[in-house]
Amino acid sequence: MITSSLFDRIRSACAGVAERSRFVAIDHSRIASYAASLPVDLAAQPRYDDLHHYRADPESTAAYLLTLDSVNFGSGWFPVLEKRPGMSGYYTIASRLTERYRAAGPISAAQLAAITPAACATLFGQQQDGPVTELMTLFAAALNDLGAWISSEHRGRFLAPVEAATGSAEILGERIAAALPGFRDVARHDGIDVPLMKRAQLLCADLSLAFDGAGHGAFTDLHRMTIFADNLVPHVLRMDGILRYDPALIDRIEMETLIPAGTPEETEIRAVALHACELILAELDAIGRPATAAQLDFQLWNRGQDPSIKAHPRHRTRSIFY
């Protein structure tokens, strides 16, 4: 039985990083006005994207989402990923997996456990010996782990871990992170563990959307999740003046130099952005316009598509967590 609170641990650890941070700071004077400017109560709510994503019977839908979210990382490689015309790296990966499911049905746990980097390259439309060979190797490892876990612990049923969580996103997030290294998104900062758990939380949000918040998507604690800390929301907050970066770090980002995973700079970008969002959410609540972290994340992510935001490079990290 899981008794500790994953979401509380994330919030507490990120608040601690914000206090100790050397490379990223929050402009607290701008939080109130920024929160007031956000149309979170009027913005469109997240909806499942059936155009680029697969949805069928419950077992097949769960299989698709667990598979997709197992490889929902690699933004540091996206500049060299062979993308579909007009699509981002994420939508390239998601749409190719969707086409495979629509054409041939779900990929079984046994097939995932045996998939190779070359097969991943074929599946996701990449050259087998191209510049993303390293990413395809990581994709294969992540899918091997997922397939082996579903086969050995859940008799090949992708819905089984969802059912075992009994409607708790926290329990599902804890268990999938314990079982699969790619979901175990915990950084170290000044010798202290900093759980961020981007993909473990995102999986729960995706399941909720796919099942319209009912049945296998009826999580009673979804509102307690944090934002999904990656490299886009921090970029939006920096462009909007909420986050201030060390000038040398800005220079590295503007030159599109990779920020190594696990470094203080990379951890602070994600953790301080998450804490800043907590401050924004607290302000929204105080002015009578409450929102969930997922709603705020959705709004900031969409703001990140604005040409004025996209015109500036965001930090790139080759990580298995985002």
Mind telling me the catalytic residues?
A: 230
Q: State the burial class of residue 266 (Cβ atoms within 10 Å of its Cβ: 0-12, 13-18, 19+).
A: buried
Amino acid at 135: L
d(CA 51, CA 84): 15
C-beta separation of 236 from 303 below 8 A? yes
DSSP state of 250: H
CA angle 250, 253, 257 (to 5 degrees): 135
C-beta separation of 224 from 7 below 8 A? yes
Q: State the burial class of residue 57 (Cβ atoms within 10 Å of its Cβ: 0-12, 13-18, 19+).
A: exposed
Whole-number Cα distances in Å, 76 to 145, 156, 177: 22, 32, 22
d(CA 211, CA 208): 5
In the chain, where do the E strands start and end?
24-26, 186-189, 192-195, 243-245
d(CA 78, CA 318): 9
Whole-number Cα distances in Å, 260 to 136, 238, 239: 19, 19, 22
